[in-house]
Structure 1
Amino acid sequence: MDVPNSCFRENVMLGCEKFIAEFFRQIDSANWDDLKNLVSDGVVYERPGYRPFVGVDEFMRFYREERNVNSGRHVIDRIFERGKDWVCIGSFRGKSKAGDDLSAEFVDIYTMSSELILRRKTFFFAPLM
């Protein structure tokens, strides 16, 4: 089934695209106070290798303390939106806290509520084990 992409338009940044760009801008600049304002109090974040982070405090603790990234930049390739469900496809390049190079392709699935992230689930492209 071909899903219409009402968020991504050539040379036009619509609401969801602006929001996702701002979300990753706050992460890449380690601006945790402003990042907190983009998620709901009851946010749930799931990503490989971690138990789900439930609530804004656990979500923020992950970014402030647990995340193994010292610096880097997300690049957004595509965004799809259907109502409150958004999908972002992109990549990340950066350095770990130990100084190692990091490189990953990812897909994020978001459920939005009142213009805030209610749920986020991240998938990484990785070699088969």
Structure 2
Amino acid sequence: MSAEQAARRYYALVDAGDVDGVVGCFAEDAVYHRPGYAPMEGRAALAEFYGGERVIADGRHELDEVVVEGRRVAVHGRFVGTLKDGSAARVGFADFWVLDEEDRATSRRSFFDTPAV
């Protein structure tokens, strides 16, 4: 699998609601940095997030750009869906991934298009 395929697979698994599959996209000691949350370190923390803490009920990721340089992947797109409170969500995002030799994320950093300043 290529680095691009690994990244695209992650979004497909998230959109399908496959928590185990999503967590399997990460290395055992992976760290995920997401605005508004403390860094999530390790698969147990990721399973907690994707299995319940995540505020999204359902939806899909629309990817506009996937740029690969070696084991690094940058993704730009938008998420369109529904939050757990029933409200609609449409938010742009950028993700920056570092993958290991088995195409699992060792780190991920997300940014969202929201007014901040």
Q: Distance in 2 between matches of 1:81 and 1:17?
A: 7
Higher relative contact order (CA 8 A, sep 6+): 2
Corresponding residue for residue 93 of structure 1: 80
Name stretches of at least 5 consecutive residues in structure 2 with no aligned partner: none
Corresponding residue for residue 5 of structure 1: none
Corresponding residue for residue 23 of structure 2: 36
Match of 2:47 among 35, 38, 60: 60
The number of residues matched between the two structures is: 116
Corresponding residue for residue 90 of structure 2: 103
Question: Which letter maps to 2:114?
Answer: A
The TM-score normalised by the length of structure 1 is: 0.85
Question: Which letter maps to 2:105?
Answer: I
Q: Distance in 1 between matches of 2:64 and 2:72?
A: 17
The TM-score normalised by the length of structure 2 is: 0.93
| Deviation at residue 16 of structure 1 after TM alignment | 2.5
SS state of the match for residue 112, structure 2?
strand
1:55-114 CA deviation, whole Å, 9 max, x = no partner? 011011101010001110001110111111110011001001111001110000001112
Corresponding residue for residue 50 of structure 1: 37
Runs of 4 or more above 3 Å deviation: none
